[in-house]
A and B are shown apart, each in its own frame.
Chain A
Amino acid sequence: MKRTVPLLITFIVGAVLILAEFVPHEPFGNFGEDFSLYFDIIAVFAFLLGGGNLIRVHVTKVQRKKKDWPFSIVTLVGFLGMLAAGLLKIGNPDGIQGDVAKLGSLFNDLYMFIFTPLQASMFALLAFFVGSASYRAFRAKNLDATILLVAAFVILLGRTPFGLWLTSGLEGSLSFLQIPNLANWIMGVPNLAGQRAIMIGIALGVISMSLRLILGVERTYLGQDNE
């Protein structure tokens, strides 16, 4: 029973949604919209579940003094502080009914002056790691690696005005050799072909996996403790 009911729900929902896509008439016509709304409602509950789980995990970590538990306190203070600032609209010039992100509200200040610089700093670290990794790993060891290296050079130079400055002398019939043009060609031809191939492959994979789920062939999402 624990296995049959979820399989049945998956089959009915999957089959109905496929029908809704091809049959625009009642009652199928509105199913797509209705199920999207159900999905939205479930998504909102997922926020509560996620928040509750975050508190549970970190409170347990603090209580048991597990490794790096002081960071859990920072997480909890940050989460609950931001939640309170948003829910109670603390400092909001328009009061409790105002926009949560209103200029001057505590929520907006926390977002702009703490959350934004912290997240931007984390992302900015990427530049340093890209620099270090390129130096160590980007070697013309064989033909494949050399092609990759040349393509990377063209794109890197093509993304800056230096590329145009260096090759601006190539005019007329040779203008296609200007680095920005070569960079655009790499993006528009080999990259495009590769991306399309990957996308078509993924789409075929999604179709086959969806069919496996709807027909009950793929059952791993039910967990391992069923029957």
Chain B
Amino acid sequence: MNGNGEQKSLVERLQFIDRRIIFLFIAVAVVLPLLFGATLKEETTPIVQELFDFIEHLPPDSRVLLSFDYGPTTAPEIQPMADAIVRHCAERDTRLYMMAIWATGHNLTGSTIEETLKPEFPGYVYGEDYINLGYKAGNQGLIRLLFDDFKRMYSTDANGTAIDEFPMMQQIKNLKNFDLIVSFGGGFPGIKEWVLYAGDPGNIPVGGGCTAVSAPLLYPYYPNQLVGILGGAKGAAEYENALITKYPAYGKKWMGGMSLMMSQAVSHVVIMLFILFGNALYFILRAQRKLETGGGE
């Protein structure tokens, strides 16, 4: 019934369809491709390819700082990026310095080390090739301090071992000693703060991986202040595609970003169909009202 006590037409009822029906469609669109393990290959766009190429051209033993600035909320999107970049850096024999400026990022650093780096690169030695520095509070203030004096804030690694005991830390004085900084996470503090407090003042190359919703906010920094940006699951899938193209052995491996792309693609199509359907109903209803009122609005 409408406001005048008249029976609602089918079109009117469809306009206010029970939201649970929409939820059901979205759930099916997301879950089914995941259940069947459907994957989609993504063509790598220039904004992703440039970060890939930068890492690809790093000489062995280059120092790459990876900052895990995200939490479980965004991990499904960002963790595949972290895994792909760690794989790539390890393929290039770079030294990996892992840290977090988000408290929730520290455990995810551990996941990357335990589930990707250690099993796939058993030759990587802790303290010589990679190190987990852990989380430190202070947000952008921490980056500001690391820029001048790295060991003033990181006097130990995540296990509490004195930092100078590790061979790979002996040459590190400040952030300018790194060849590349990659921040994962588009929130605050994150990629933007790494650009403002480290990349720009020190002329240090910075790259980033963030959620799809954060990516548009970072475009103003590309390409002058950011080497490249990986935006959302698509960004991760694009990086994985570049990795597979260069290192075909990864083609046989399960890739987190690509495995999400079919779900994302189908759910986007479902949302678009709902938008089209909603608009069709809107125009039908508008035409009906015009007819009822004799052509006037």
Contact = CB atoms under 8 A, between A and B. Distances in A.
Interface of A: 32-33, 36-37, 39-40, 43-44, 47, 94, 97-103, 108, 111-112, 115-120, 122-124, 127-128, 130-132, 134-136, 138-141, 149, 152-153, 156-157, 159-162, 164, 180, 184, 187-188, 191-192, 195-196, 199
Contacts of B291: none
A102 B113 CA distance: 11
B278 A161 contact: no
Nearest to B265: A160
A199 B268 contact: no
**Which DSSP category, helix, strand, loop or mixed, fits chain B's interface?**
helix
Nearest to A199: B220
Contact of B272 (A111, A120, A156): A156
Interface stretch (B58-66, B70-78, B178-186, B243-251): B70-78
Interface of B: 17, 19, 22-23, 25-27, 30, 40-43, 45, 71-76, 106-107, 109-111, 114, 132, 134, 136-139, 141-142, 144-145, 148-149, 152-153, 158-160, 212, 215-217, 219-220, 232, 234, 261, 264-265, 267-272, 274-275, 277-279, 282
Given A108-B110, A120-B76, A134 B271 contact: yes
Contact of B107 (A94, A108, A117): A108
B110 A102 contact: yes
A115 B72 contact: yes
A71 B294 CA distance: 57
Contacts of B217: 195
A132 B19 contact: yes
Q: Identify whether the interface residues of A are mostly helix, strand, loop, or mixed.
A: helix
Contacts of A134: 271, 274-275, 278
Given A36-B142, A100-B158, 15 more contacts: A37-B141, A37-B152, A39-B141, A97-B159, A99-B158, A101-B106, A127-B267, A131-B22, A131-B274, A156-B271, A157-B272, A159-B268, A161-B42, A195-B216, A195-B220
B100 to A, nearest CB: 10
A180 B219 CA distance: 16
Interface centre among B30, B134, B158, B279 (most CB of A within 10 A): B279
Given A102-B110, A127-B30, A188 B219 contact: yes
B63 to A, nearest CB: 22
A117 B190 CA distance: 23
Contacts of A159: 212, 232, 234, 264, 268
B45 to A, nearest CB: 7
A159 B272 CA distance: 12
